[in-house]
Structure 1
Amino acid sequence: MFRKIIFLAMSSYFVLFLFGCSGFSSVDGGISPVETIVLDDEYGAAVNVEKNDVFALDVSRPSSKGYRISGAAFDPEMLRMERYFEYDDDSGPRARYLFSALEEGATDVLIRMTPEAGGETVVYRQVAVSIGSGNAWLD
């Protein structure tokens, strides 16, 4: 009887573990961004989203130029970083940030990089983010 209980408990944990992992099976971890901004050739970009929307910033990693991405600077009262991951694409190594818009207003996201040999952190890409609750034409 004791073995049967242990077997059922372990089976239940295994099934729950599989269901928990299924949320991370997609590239974005089960999060569907309303917009993905690809920042390859341009230094800056802009995005307009609604409050509570999730958007993605996708950049090429500058490792071929001797740099590495060292993080992103943003206003934590206006944005929450949901996920960051690095991956390889046909065009080379890439990184993706997923952000949730928390408050209405405007802010910037600064993606930073540092030389692999060490040195000062510099801004790699800049994105102006406008967060609104409705259509500005009707306000």
Structure 2
Amino acid sequence: MRRTAMMCAAFLMAFPALAQQPEGFERLATRVGLVVLGNAQEFEVLTSAGSEKNRYFCAAGEFAHIRLGARSSDQLLVASRMVGSRYQSHRRAYVFRLAGEGRQDRFSLHMGGPRVGQVLSVGHARGMCDAVLRRAGRQKRDDD
């Protein structure tokens, strides 16, 4: 028993981010290859080198819909620029939160990706996944 307790403590010391997970913590590996971590109050899309900006919105929309049960009409808000992840050490992430319904989309692909204050619907974000996957499929065929 004592040995098990010591092993658990050693594990949590080796991985401090796991010990700091808030209540309702969720994790999702999205179909566009990005990982999202967080809860209903705030969630992070971990960055990946070379990722196009649409992938971050797509991943946030998938997380909100699948893990948080958000409707297509609910709004995503970019809460923070790219910062160090609270949940995954040595990783960077964009921070999103749900803003509820009724806010106008303030989104433009020409704005350069996730910017603090950008708002778009969960449905719009999830729709970006199809475009990202189509482009990825086309690139894969071109590489063959």
Instruction: Looking at secondary structure, tell me which structure has more strand per residue.
Output: 1
TM-score by length of 2: 0.30
Higher helix share: 2
> Which structure has the greater CA radius of gyration?
1
